[in-house]
Structure 1
Amino acid sequence: MTPSTTALRATTILFVPGDRPERFEKAAAAGADLVVIDLEDAVPHENKAVARANAAEWAVTGNPCGIRINAADTGYFQDDLAAITGTGAVVMLAKAETPDLVQAVAEVSGSGVIPLIETARGILAAADIAAVPGVVRLAVGTFDLAAQLGADPADREALATSRSMLVLASAAAGLAGPLEGVTAAIDNADRIASDAAYARRLGFAGKLCIHPKQLGPAIAAFAPTEEEIAWAHKIIDSLDTDGVWTIDGEMVDQPVVDRAQHILDKLKH
C-alpha cells in the first residue's frame, strides 16, 4: 500500500522529528497508520538540513511515510520540496493557505499532499484547497490557528466553526473526513480520547499524534462502538424492501442505509 493510499484511510498519524533518525524505526512500529517525519516545528534551525536528508533517505530506502515540510513563507520551503521530490512520501504542507500553492506542491511531489490548515486564510480557502487534484486529506493545526485568532487551542467552542468548515470542504471534494490536530497532553489518555471523540462527532476521521502513547486512545475513540455496529447490522439486514420503511419505530431510507454502511466499512480497515 502506498503512503497516499494509507493516508486516505488513516485514523492515526504519528509525527517524529526529522533530526532524530534513531526514533524512525520505533515510530514505524508503534502502531500508527502513517508516520510523518517532521521538518517543521519539531526541528530547530541548526538541524533543518540534516533532518531533510534523514527524511529523504528514510523514504527512498523503502519506508512508507509522510514528510511535513516547512511553510512557503519560510527560508526552508524550497530546499524541503527539492529534497522530498521523488521519494514517494506523502507531503504534509505546513500552513497551507492557497489552492495554487497546494497544486504546485502536489505537482512536484507526485505522491499526494495533506494540506495542514492552520491559519484563518487557510480555513476560508479550505473548499478550494480540498478540490485540488493530488490532495489526499485535509488536516487542522489548532495551535497556530488558535494563536492567530487569540483563542485557547483547548477551547472547542472557539474553533468549532473552523473545524466544521474543514469537514464541509472535505465532504464537498469527496475526500475522507479531515484529520484532527494534536493534543498537547501526552500521558492523559482521557483527554486524548475526549479530543478524538469530539472531533469524530464533528465529522473528522482521524487524528495527528505526537507520541506513541496517544495512539491507543485515539484509535479507540474513532472506532465504531458496539451499539453503532449492532444498529448498522440491523439496518443493512433489513434491506429486503425499497423506498422508505421503519425499524424500531424510526424511518429508514437511503441516507440512513449509507450511514450504516459507512460504520461497517470502518471495520474492514
Structure 2
Amino acid sequence: MMNVVSSEFYKIFKSRIFYAISIILLAMNGISFAASVSLKVKGKMSGTGFSNYQGSYGADFIFYIIPIFIACLITAEYSNGSIRQMACHGIARWKLVLGQYIAMSFVITIILLGFGILNLLSCTILSELGEVDTAAFIRMNIGVICMFWGIAGIGTFLSYLLKNEGIAIIVSILLVTGSNFVANLLALLTRNDVFTRYSLTNMRKTIIDFTSKPEDVMKYSIVFFLIGIITILGSSLLFSKRDVD
C-alpha cells in the first residue's frame, strides 16, 4: 500500500493540475491581501485573522476545486492508458483506488489549509489575530478536513464512474450547484427539514461557524467522513468490476 501511495504522490507532483490549482489559490491569496491593504489604507478594515481564515472556506469554490483536481488526475490515467498498466501489475484494484484517494486527499488538504493559513496571516499582519475559543477552532479544522476528504470521495467516485474529464467535472459542478435546490425541493415536498440540514452547503456553514453547537459540528464532520468512506467503497467496486478502457 505504501508503494502505491508514494507512486501516486510522485504522479500528483508531476501533474499540471497540481501547479494550476496551487497558482490559482496563491493568486486568490494575493488578491485578498491587496484588497485588505486597500481597506486598511481607507480605514475600513474590520476583519481579523481568525475571521478571514473562517471565510476562506465559506464559498462554494471549495466544492468546485476538489472534484476538478480529482477528476483531472484520475481521468488523465484513463486517457493516457496508464490505468491499464497499473491494473496489470498484480496489485489489488481496491488498493490502487484507496492509495490514489489517500494521496490526492492529503495533497489537496495541504493546499487548501495552506490557502486558509496564508489568509489568516495576511489579515493578522494588517489588523489583528482576533479571539476564538480554542476548542471551537480545533473542531472547525477537524470538520473542514473531513469535508475535504468527503468531497474528494465524491470526485473520485464520479471520475471512476464517468471516466471522462469534462463530463466528470461538469457533473461535479452540477451536483454542487443543484444540491441546494434539490434539498429545498425535497424539504418542501416532505415538510421535513432533514434534507436542508444535511445539504452540503448547510453542513459547511455549520462546521466553519465558531458559534455552532459542538454536537452539530461533530455530527456533520462524521457525515462528511462517512461520505468519503462510502464513495471510496463504491469507487473500489466500480474499478474492480469494470473494464479499465
User: When the two structures are superposed, what TM-score results if normalisation uses the length of structure 1?
Assistant: 0.23
Task: Give the strand-richer structure, 1 or 2.
Answer: 1
User: When the two structures are superposed, what TM-score results if normalisation uses the length of structure 2?
Assistant: 0.25
Higher RCO by CA contacts (8 Å cutoff, separation 6 or greater): 2
